[in-house]
Structure 1
Amino acid sequence: MRLKKRNLFYQRILFLILALIIIKYVLFSYPQPGVADQGDFQRVMSEGGIGLIHEDIINLDFKRFNEYTVTDYSIKDNGFIKFESSTIGYIIYFISLICRSIGEDVFKTQYLAVIYVIIYVSALYIIMKSMNIKSRLKFGILSLLSLFVFLDGNYLIWFNSLYGEPMMISTLMLFIAAYSSYVYKKYTLKDDNKIIGRIVFIFIAAFLFVGSKMQIITAMPMIIFMLVKVLLDNRKVISKVNLVCLSVFLVIILIYPMRITMKNKEMSKDTQYNSVFYGVLNSSNDPKQDLIDLGLNSDMYVEAGKHAYLNPDEYVKYAPKTEITENEFYRKMSNGKLAKFYLTHPIRLIEGMKYTANHAFITGTGLGKYSRSYSEESIREFDKFTIWSKFRENKFPKNIRFVILIYTMIFSVSIYKYVKNKGNNKIRNKIYIIWLLIFIAALQFPMPFVGNGEADTTKQLFLFNFITDVIILISVYWSISKGIDFIGCKYKSIKSV
């Protein structure tokens, strides 16, 4: 038994070493790849207290967007970071403090990539350990699947950028790791001693996750449910002082993403504009009637099919963020009206979901991948360790039926296992993680089209695609594990005859 445990420990260390080798090859080998800015970085730069370096500002030939990666930024003295900043802003701010303390005034995105790697790989390691897999064969299979899926180059490449996507998936994995670690200690080891440490870990991971991007606000109900459940399950185990402190932390976690959303009203206005003119009206047969159904002025139909990022002279009358659009559109439009429109026009919603499904399962991007100093010609292709993402993109059916099939199957099996394991808190708490993922994915899938029209759909499906990978990996591993158990039982029965 002791030898078996030692072998499993060595397997986990081997997994860790292989993961770091892959990451070094994909992300930190020359020329270090990344993802060019498509206009999203400025908000994060402002939050984190960084800006363009002086050489780039005065360079008249500097190309900031779309074509080349920019990795070096000037560290500014902006005082203390604000509560409503995203969690990536916090990390950039603290990295900048460290840089300043050693006399460095340049922030490099590679520093951020290192933090992501630490969070991401640590989370994977904790999850693997907390699963408490006894079989070396099963652990080896899960390790290989995890390396190919989660360390795919089209995930890792985003780490070397200021986009929120890597923060989003890294902290989601951290939350899963924290909850898995808690379940392992409380329900596998049945050890409540110092359980407060595991609970605090869950709350910190939840805070980092819900503040990673504005779109995570849809995950709040399930996140809050899981946090409340943890508190209720341990109310007799932890001290009253700790219970009160965690309750206050829970309120902070609840308020935090709302504050981020309120701060970024201008961005919300862009998505609101896109949701109507580039979504509802884009392929409408009767845009005037659709506007009437939305409670808006029908003469806005002249802007049908336009998004919020065109040049001002490309709009006929209702350009974004102008006074007339403010009075006639922004003040009259609401998420409630949009939801009501799709509920009363289900065919339009289905058509939108078909469009979304056609853009699913793509984690790559057409943006530039390397710096201009490496190549004057913008390089937009990337193929380092992208076996899984290329397979997913080219082989998965891009239709709504396939999406529904995947999630219906895993949800049905999870309900069956949940009912079957009444009284087994270990199994049931693991199923809560699966339900969390399904819940988030179910809301993330329609969000791009409903909330932003046909603008940037592939990028906005990033979290949905990641969760789909997690769901598929769980399903494949579970099936293989059951197959190994079945073969093992058959072998034993034959051997005993």
Structure 2
Amino acid sequence: MPKLKQAYFRAIKVFKRILPPPLLAMLICAGLAGYLIFIPPINGLADNGDFYRAMYSNGIYKLLGTHYSYFSYVTQHFGLMQYYNENQSVIFSSQPWFVHLAVFLNKIFYSKTVFDLRFMGLVNYVLYLGAIYLLTDALTFPSKRLRNYLIAALVVFVFGDSSFTLYFNSFFAEPQMLSLTMYSFASFILLARQRYQHRWPLLLLFAISTLVLIASKSQNAPLALSFTVVALGLLFLPHFQAQRLYIFAGIGVLLVTGVLTYKLIGKDFAYVNQYQAFSHGVLTQTGDPSKALAKNGIDEQYALMKDQDYYAKQFATIQPSQSYVEKNLLSKYGFGWIVKYYLQHPKQFGKLMDLAAADVMITQTKAVGDYTKASGASPGKQLTFFTGYSSIAGAFFPQKFAFNCLLAVALVMVYAVGFYNDLKHGEIEGVLKFFQVTGLLTIFIFVPIIAIVGDGDADLAKHIFMAPVSLDLIFVLFVSDILNHRLWHAYHEGGPTT
């Protein structure tokens, strides 16, 4: 019996050495995501009308002579422009860097005239796998306990969910946002846990991933304020007083990036958001909005545009892109007008926020299909493979915005205890985690507000994407801290070994 026990512990030791939790999590996620995005018939997300923002300015176009499906089916093949490209980017974004890389790889390994969407998937896939490894490493270091494999399994269950990886085969910015957020989060936690002797690589990774994340999408501009809260925690790093000037300079760059991302929004793109903030926000969750419109200086006839998309799937009451709409509607209101309107109608705004809260954990985009037409799937069919976490979270997470606020307060209080204990004992882990969690919770609370004010309830799953990602990161951190007994104080060796 003792020999059997020794053999068991020897096998466990070898397994830990060959397949540590970060590597195991990465390999499982590689298999799950790879099956979706590479194996024919592939899965992804169909075009909801937004793909052109990333396509045309990067030399990608809809193939002539083929049926291009909006909303219903994923399109796998596109054309590559061979001559001068007169299309300019309609928005300021870091996303073209990743699209350029996908086009470059496509031309080397596949074709110079036809673009296969799987190369976009490949770029997102590689970026994502590195993030999964680093995130799992951050959550499990330095403990060598077997329970860290439970943490690795949790990472796979949450971030290997297909509602996230379906984005890889698309021209949306969300897949880069997911990975960059995980890099930013993981590098900060590794700094808190003093994973490496030299800090500068992790500081550089945190800075780059955060800046590229903020610049990836115009809606991410306000995230600069949230990550400023996170970055303030770096001022508590020990033996770092001489470098505090660099931290303040970095925060300045962070804020400037946020301002530029907002200021450089293209006119056409701004009109889309402005229109849908009206048709999907101001006109919804209320009985008869016409009187309220007239009272605020807008013709009552525009109440007929309730729930109408800028890119209408079928019949449109009036074409939003017409100069008539621009002159008689869009020029009549803006961000300030909408804020004032909601202040005058708090019940309506409360209903909209509850609507956002109901969708906050539904990360799978329901507005478009996940299959190609060649798969034989019905139009708009949704994938169910490995969507357990998103299905459970979407079904059982409370659907009240007030609950979200209370949850945020509770989590801040929990990590404030660790902040106080570690600050008192000269430790930094709990201090940095407090700033990290607080910063992410501001995203969780304020992103839905910004989405409703800025774009109404249109494509909520996409527009509040950063809210569930932020809460999911806090969730896996919270569980890992409980399992490794480090929730209210820094980790110390000498605890249980299993």
Structure 1 length-normalised TM:
0.82
| Structure 1 residue 362: Cα displacement | 1.6
Tell whether the 8 Å contact from 2:102 to 2:123 is kept in structure 1 after alignment. no
Q: Does 1:129 align with 2:137?
A: yes
Pairs within 5 Å for 1:195-206: 195-206=199-210
Structure-2 change in CA distance of 1:278 and 1:254 (3 Å): closer
Pairs within 5 Å for 1:344-423: 344-366=344-366, 367-375=368-376, 377-378=378-379, 380-422=381-423, 423=426
Question: Which residue identity lines up with residue 274 of structure 1 in the other structure?
Answer: Q
Deviates more, 1:360-369 or 1:476-485: 476-485
Unaligned runs of 5+ in 2: 1-11
| Structure 1 residue 413: Cα displacement | 1.0
Question: Which residue identity lines up with residue 281 of structure 2 in the other structure?
Answer: G
Tell whether the 8 Å contact from 1:8 to 1:136 is kept in structure 2 after alignment. no
Q: Does 1:95 align with 2:102?
A: yes
Identical amino acids, percent of aligned pairs: 20
Match of residue 151, structure 2, among 136, 142, 158: 142
Q: Does 1:432 align with 2:435?
A: yes
* Alignment partner, residue 113 of structure 1: 121
| Structure 1 residue 435: Cα displacement | 1.6
Tell whether the 8 Å contact from 2:173 to 2:217 is kept in structure 1 after alignment. yes
Unaligned runs of 5+ in 1: none
Deviates more, 1:107-116 or 1:304-313: 304-313
Equivalents in 2 of 1:302, 1:181: separation in Å? Answer: 53
Q: Does 1:69 align with 2:82?
A: no
* Alignment partner, residue 449 of structure 1: 452
Secondary structure of the corresponding residue to residue 19 of structure 2: helix
Root mean square deviation of aligned Cα:
3.7
Q: Does 1:58 align with 2:62?
A: no
* Alignment partner, residue 41 of structure 2: 31
Structure-2 change in CA distance of 1:404 and 1:68 (3 Å): same
Equivalents in 2 of 1:47, 1:181: separation in Å? Answer: 37
Match of residue 170, structure 2, among 155, 161, 168: 161
Equivalent residue pairs, number = 472
Equivalents in 1 of 2:475, 2:104: separation in Å? Answer: 40
| Structure 1 residue 101: Cα displacement | 5.1
Question: Which residue identity lines up with residue 96 of structure 1 in the other structure?
Answer: V
Secondary structure of the corresponding residue to residue 137 of structure 1: coil
Structure-2 change in CA distance of 1:139 and 1:256 (3 Å): farther
| Structure 1 residue 295: Cα displacement | 4.2
Tell whether the 8 Å contact from 2:223 to 2:258 is kept in structure 1 after alignment. no
Structure-2 change in CA distance of 1:183 and 1:421 (3 Å): closer
Question: Which residue identity lines up with residue 478 of structure 2 in the other structure?
Answer: S
Deviates more, 1:417-426 or 1:294-303: 294-303
Structure-2 change in CA distance of 1:378 and 1:346 (3 Å): closer
Residues 394-441 of structure 1: CA distance to partner in whole angstroms, max 9, x if unpaired?
Answer: 333333344334323212212232233325323211222212211111
Q: Does 1:179 align with 2:182?
A: no
Residues 286-305 of structure 1: CA distance to partner in whole angstroms, max 9, x if unpaired?
Answer: 52442245443455444445
Tell whether the 8 Å contact from 1:441 to 1:467 is kept in structure 2 after alignment. yes
Tell whether the 8 Å contact from 1:74 to 1:107 is kept in structure 2 after alignment. yes
Structure-2 change in CA distance of 1:434 and 1:484 (3 Å): closer
* Alignment partner, residue 278 of structure 1: 280
Question: Which residue identity lines up with residue 342 of structure 1 in the other structure?
Answer: Y
| Structure 1 residue 45: Cα displacement | 0.3
Question: Which residue identity lines up with residue 322 of structure 2 in the other structure?
Answer: T
Deviates more, 1:281-290 or 1:161-170: 281-290
* Alignment partner, residue 218 of structure 2: 214
Residues 307-359 of structure 1: CA distance to partner in whole angstroms, max 9, x if unpaired?
Answer: 4334897436xx52433432333223121221122233322211111222233
Equivalents in 1 of 2:351, 2:406: separation in Å? Answer: 18
Structure 2 length-normalised TM:
0.82
Question: Which residue identity lines up with residue 373 of structure 1 in the other structure?
Answer: A
* Alignment partner, residue 339 of structure 2: 339
Question: Which residue identity lines up with residue 419 of structure 1 in the other structure?
Answer: Y
Structure-2 change in CA distance of 1:363 and 1:344 (3 Å): same
| Structure 1 residue 84: Cα displacement | 5.5
* Alignment partner, residue 236 of structure 1: 242
